[in-house]
Amino acid sequence: MTYKIDNLSIKELQKFIIDLNEKPFRAKQLYKWIYQKGITSFEEMTDLPLNFRDKLSDIFEFTKITPIEQLLSKLDGSIKVLFELEDKNYIESVLMFDGERVTACVSTQVGCRMGCKFCNTAKIGLIRNLTSGEIIRQIIYLKDLARQNNKLLSNIVFMGMGEPLDNYENLTNSLDIILDEDGLNFSHRKVTVSTCGIIDKLYTLSKNYKVNIAISLNASSNKIRSKLMPINKKFNIEEIIKSIKNLPIPKRKRITIEYVLIDGINNTKRDANLLVKLLKGLPVKVNLIVYNKIKDSQFNPPDLNYALNFQKTLINNGVATFIRKSFGQDIEAACGQLYAKYYKERGLWKRSNLTQEIKQ
């Protein structure tokens, strides 16, 4: 039986090493070869004894994800990648350039079961969770892609396909590797986990990791949020606000509230004022995201003036608010768009459009 070496934590790897009658420090050497140097062949790990490399080859193999389509945005230089997994499933990742800030947006699941009505990934449904190795391989690939563009990957956001906290074990296994100085060696300040609001897992994550947290709110009333996001029926707005007050947030850190502005749904002056009442005085900042139009969707982005006025209302009432720059609008960079395009072009897209009409 072989194991995927890049699915293992440092402690798990050390146990394997000890069972092979090797010294525990070999685990750190392996970690550096795999994650810092990006090596996927034991033969190339030249500072390891040959007999040890032979043992490793007999027991371990590396996770493989294969890029099968790569789109470059002419608008902002962002790059979207469609990966084929070993079981012939597919996921998407995006590399975004914003000055010296270079961000990898990675997926945690094939599809998603949260059912958010404005999200293309919701139409796929949940096919399966990604392993920690599959999560990490996306980052390593995008890190190399950034280097090819003479840039260094600086930030990681878990905002791709899937709900990260719905794949909690593999998410945290990957975080251990990302934050380990012998692994990918990223600061917790440069890593953001976005969630639609799975509060119990959010508490657990916050107690054990200092990474940045982003919560998708997208409405200022439970009536609208429940229609946009079915998760609200389990974890409603009041629960989210309560969690923000009680989470162990380090000083000078703020939780990001993500709010997708959809024309005629959640972008009115009234919505902005209700949002002020919810958030004022909390350690948060708001990222307004103008809806990225999806083909065949009935939803539409609002005029930019609506976004600016919405932002102005929040800022004038003491809520730090930013309009998030949209990347890759010419390369179908919204989650699930490239996946859907690939399947439709090959006649494989059989899942129904789950979007339903929403009225206030």
User: How many Å apart are CA 71 and CA 221, to the nearest integer?
Assistant: 37
Identified catalytic residue from 22, 92, 134, 163: 92
* Cβ-Cβ contacts under 8 Å for 275 (sequence gap 6 or more): 217, 220, 259, 286, 314, 319
What is the number of helices (H) and of strands (E) in the chain? 11, 14
Q: For residue 2, give both structure tokens.
A: 């072989």
Q: Which of these, 83, 92, 100, lies nearest to 149 by C-alpha position?
A: 100
DSSP states of 89-135: -EEEEEEEEETTEEEEE--SEEE-SS--TT-GGGGT-EEEEPPHHHH
Identified catalytic residue from 112, 119, 196, 335: 335
Three-state DSSP at 67 gives: strand
Q: Which of these, 117, 49, 123, 74, lies nearest to 333 by C-alpha position?
A: 74
DSSP conformational letter for 336? T
Beta bridge partners of 90: 84
In this structure, how many other beta carbons lie within 10 angstroms of the beta carbon of residue 151?
A: 17
The enclosing H or E element of 257 equals strand 255-261
User: How many Å apart are CA 85 and CA 83, to the nearest integer?
Assistant: 6
User: How many Å apart are CA 57 and CA 51, to the nearest integer?
Assistant: 10
Q: For residue 159, give both structure tokens.
A: 């905002």
Q: Which of these, 348, 335, 342, 351, lies nearest to 294 by C-alpha position?
A: 335
Mark whether 92 is an active-site residue: yes
Mark whether 43 is an active-site residue: no
Q: Exposed, middle or buried by CB within 10 Å (0-12, 13-18, 19+), for 8?
A: buried
Catalytic residue numbers, as ranges: 92, 335
